[in-house]
Structure 1
Amino acid sequence: MEIRSASNPKDVKNYTTERLREEFHIAKLFTKDNIRMVYSHIDRIITAGIMPVYSELKLEAGKELAADYFLQRREMGCINIGGKGIITVDGTEYEMNPRDGIYIGMGNKDISFKCVDIENPPKFYVSSCPAHTSYPVVKIDITKAKKVPCGSKEDCNKRVINQYIHPEVMQSCQLAMGLTMLDVGSNWNTMPCHTHDRRMEVYLYLDMDENDAVFHMMGEPDETRHIIMHNEEAVISPSWSIHTGVGTKNYSFIWAMCGENQEFDDMDFIETKDLK
């Protein structure tokens, strides 16, 4: 498990491209028969990529959590962006087709991941944060996610937000998670942009070709920076930072949030004319 420290916006203003990527960019999330985890001290979120092919992979706490098992004091969400797989939670198997999601609450001990077809292995994208109580396991396939159309073709940001772990879909402690899909011809996400000082956020960009990229914008509204993102790479967004991006073509991204509350109307919108 890789550990990332929290950051101060005053320091980030002086970061080089290399340092910016070192602190916030997460690459190589999915490698065969491996679990890659990044623990951020920003709201203590864990971002993980799990790709079983030949071996069943078990989620372990590790010494970094100082816990007997991974979800002893945590909850987690997972969306499968690869082929069909199976997640087993305390002996109960859940079939995970492409774009299926699942919420697993605090207290579940034995969690493992396995492949169904080695020619098309699953890619389980996991977000986990601290929890204060336990809620039931909920399987949420993409048809059960709440769909929120937004944006417009004229503004190059027509998209559908699929809310998986969200107060209007199911109950969690503080984790929220979903999948946003941009229409063909649209390439901006979350514009006009915003901050939400009560919650941090992590984006995973996907559905991109090898030579495509998203220019992910971050930083304080009057001191922005960008990180170039490629397919299946994630980026950490502190609560003080804007988070938006523009791609060389349309793409999708998974967003995961945690922090003080789940009130989605507490965003502080930034006028585009005020960005610097």
Structure 2
Amino acid sequence: MERRYASHPNEVKQFDTERLRKEFHIPTLFTANKLELVLTHEDRMIIGGAHPVNEAVRLETDLKELGVSFFLERRELGIINIGGAGSVTVDGTVYELDNKECLFVGMGSKEVIFNSKDAAKPAKFYLNSAPAHKEFPTAKATLEDSESAELGSITNSNERRIYRFIHENGIQSSQLVMGLTILKPGNMWNTMPAHVHPRRMEAYVYFDLPEDAVVVHMMGEPTETRHIVMRNDEAVISPSWSVHSGVGTSNYAFIWSMAGDNKIYSDMDPVDMKELK
């Protein structure tokens, strides 16, 4: 498991492109028959991916890094499948997960195993794990089960539908909040006007992006913005003090996940467009 440290905004102002990507960009989430994990010290979130092709993949890592006897002893886990059909087995119970379906796994679960239904169309399980102080039951949600809403407009190139899976009015968790957003064809902007939420960090993974397309992800303080060029199936860490927005050369989808002081999805501090620099 790779480790990333928290960064102060005054320090980030000095980063060049290489350093910015090294600290916040996660280029590899899905390696055949392996588990990829990145631990960020931003609210101790773990960001990763399980990509079982013709072998099962288990949720396991060097436990010394977490100070526990098994992965979810003091953590909870959110999973969204962005690949082909697959399954997640939690302590012997099998949960089938199709594309864009979510599974929350509560603290205390000891064995988590990922499988694909068809090796020719393998699953891609995107993972977010946050520290937990209370056990909540494992639960599955489809797009139809989620709390969804239409946002934006074609006039502003940001017409999209948002799906909330793990949040205060949906699947219950200790602190993890998770869902996804799908931009409609002809739309490129996400999360603009921008906002920050100083009470929790956030992570994005961009997917369903054509091979020759990119998303220019904006981050940084509102008056000191920087950008990271993102490609399909790549993730980015957003500290609590940073904006997190982007514009693509095509429409796309992205998963957002948060951890911090509360589970209120709407807890954010808007940034006036006139403040951005």
What range describes the TM-score normalised by the shorter chain of this pair?
A: over 0.9
- Structure 2 residue 189 is matched with structure 1 residue 163: no
Correspondence for 2:12: 12
For residues 219-242 of structure 1, the C-alpha deviation after alignment (integer angstroms, 9 at most, x for no partner) is: 001100000000000000000000
- 1:15-60: CA deviation from partner (whole Å, max 9, x where unpaired): 0100000000001210100100000000000001100112111111
Residue 32 of structure 1 corresponds to which residue in structure 2?
Answer: 32
The answer to whether structure 1 residue 251 and structure 2 residue 239 are counterparts is no
For 1:191, the equivalent position in structure 2 comes to 192
User: How is 1:200-211 mapped onto 2 (pairs within 5 angstroms)?
Assistant: 200-211=201-212
Q: Where do residues 59-78 of structure 1 align in structure 2 (5 Å cutoff)?
A: 59-62=59-62, 63-78=64-79
Q: Which residue of 1 aligns with 2:58?
A: 58
- Give the counterpart letter for 1:107 in structure 2: G
Distance 1:256 1:160 in 2: 16
Q: What's 2:101 paired with? A: 100
Cα distance in 2, alignment partners of residues 70 and 228 from structure 1: 32
SS in 1 for 2:174: coil
Offset from partner CA, 1:104-131 (integer Å, 9 cap, x none): 0100001111111000000000000000
Question: What is the deviation of 1:61?
Answer: 4.1
Correspondence 1:144-183 to 2 at 5 A:
144-183=145-184
Distance 2:34 2:141 in 1: 24
Distance (whole Å) between structure 2 residues aligned to residue 265 and residue 171 of structure 1: 16
What is the TM-score when the length of structure 2 is the normalising length?
0.98
Q: Per-residue displacement from partner, 1:97-152 (whole Å, max 9, x unpaired)?
A: 11111000100001111111000000000000000010001011121111111111
Cross-structure match for 2:230:
229
SS at match of 2:129: strand
CA contact (8 A) 1:61 1:67 kept: no
CA shift for structure 1 position 263: 2.2
Q: Is the 8 A contact 1:61 1:68 kept in 2?
A: no
SS of equivalent to 1:20: helix
Q: Is the 8 A contact 1:189 1:246 kept in 2?
A: yes
Structure 1 CA distance for aligned equivalents of residues 159 and 268 of structure 2: 20
Q: 2:54–2:116: 8 Å Cα contact kept in structure 1?
A: yes
Cross-structure match for 2:219 = 218
Partner of 2:3: 3
Structure 2 letter corresponding to 1:138: A
Q: Secondary structure at the match of 1:223?
A: coil
Residue matched to 2:21: 21
AA at the equivalent of 1:52: P
Give the match's secondary structure for 1:38: strand
Q: Any idea what SS the aligned residue of 1:79 has? A: strand
Q: How does 1:136-147 map to 2 (within 5 A)?
A: 136-147=137-148
Normalising by structure 1, report the TM-score. Answer: 0.98
Which runs of 4 or more aligned residues in structure 1 lie more than 2 Å from their structure 2 counterparts after TM superposition? 263-266
Identity %: 51
Structure 2's unaligned 5+ residue stretches are none
Corresponding letter in the other structure for 1:57? V
Shift of 1:13: 0.2
Name structure 1 gaps, 5 residues minimum: none
Q: What secondary structure is seen at the aligned counterpart in 2 of 1:39?
A: strand
